Amino acid sequence: MIPVLGLVVGVAVGLVLQPEVPVALQPYLPIAIVAALDAVVGALRAVGEKRFDDRVFVVSFVSNVLIAAFIVFLGDQLGVGSQLSTGVLVVLGIRIFANAAAIRRRVFHA
Amino acid sequence: MVSTPPGSTSTDSPRPQRTPYSREATGLLDQIAERALDDDYYLVRSGRYSRSRGTNTAATAVVLALFMLMVTITAVQYAQDRPSRSETRDALLSDIEKGQSNQADLLAQAASLEAEVDALRGVQEKSPEALGDELAAGASAVTGDGLRISIEPAAGVAISDGELRALVNELWIGGAEAIAVNGQRWGALTSLRAAGGAITINFTSIGAPYVITAIGDRDTIRERLDASGEDGYWERRQSQDELTYDVSDADDQVLPAAPDHRTTITRATPVPPEEGTS
For B107-156, write each residue's pLDDT tens digit.
Answer: 999 999 988 887 887 655 667 777 777 777 888 888 899 999 999 988 88
Cβ atoms within 10 Å, residue A59: 16
Query: Which residues of chain A lie closer than 8 angstroms to B36, CB-CB?
Result: 42, 45, 94-96, 98-99, 102
Which residue type occupies B88? T
Interface predicted TM-score of the whole assembly (ipTM), two decimals: 0.86
pLDDT category at B49 given cuts 50, 70, 90 is low
In chain A, what is the straight-line distance between the N-terminal and C-terminal CA atoms, in Å? Answer: 29
Domain boundaries, chain A: 28-108
The distance from CA B173 to its chain's CA centroid, rounded to whole angstroms, is 33
SS3 content of chain A, % helix, strand, coil (to 5): 85, 0, 15
For A90-104, write each residue's pLDDT tens digit.
Answer: 989 999 999 999 899
Average pLDDT (B58-83) is 86
Instruction: Name which of B19, B49, B69 to mutate to probe chain A: the one with the most chain A Cβ atoms within 10 A of its Cβ.
Output: B69
pTM of the model: 0.46
Q: How many CB pairs under 8 A join A and B?
A: 147
* Mean pLDDT estimate for chain B: 81
State the pLDDT at residue A55.
Answer: 84
For B199-240, write each residue's pLDDT tens digit.
Answer: 888 888 888 789 999 999 988 999 988 888 888 888 898 898
The CATH fold of domain B141-262: Alpha-Beta Plaits (3.30.70)
Question: Among B82-91, B130-139, B178-187, which is the least confidently predicted range?
Answer: B130-139
The distance from CA B150 to its chain's CA centroid, rounded to whole angstroms, is 23
Element (H, E) at A94: helix A81-108
State the pLDDT at residue B9.
Answer: 45
For A16-74, write each residue's pLDDT tens digit.
Answer: 888 888 888 888 888 999 999 999 999 888 888 888 888 888 988 999 999 998 988 89
State the pLDDT at residue B121.
Answer: 78
Q: Mapped to the 3 state alphabet, what secondary structure does chain B carry?
A: CCCCCCCCCCCCCCCCCCCCCCCCCCCHHHHHHHCCCCHHHHCCCCHHHHHCCCCCCHHHHHHHHHHHHHHHHHHHHHHHHHHHHHHHHHHHHHHHHHHHHHHHHHHHHHHHHHHHHHHHHCCCCCCHHHHHHHHHHCCCCEEEEEEEEEEEECCCCCCCHHHHHHHHHHHHHCCEEEEEECCEECCCCCCEEEECCEEEECCEEECCCEEEEEEECHHHHHHHHHHHCHHHHHHHHHHCCCEEEEEEEEEEEEECCCCHHHCCCCCCCCCCHHHHCC
Domain boundaries, chain B: 141-262
Q: Do A7 and B59 touch (CB under 8 A)?
A: no
Q: How far is A82 from chain B (nearest CA, A)?
A: 19
Instruction: Name which of A2, A5, A47, A105 to mutate to probe chain B: the one with the most chain B Cβ atoms within 10 A of its Cβ.
Output: A2
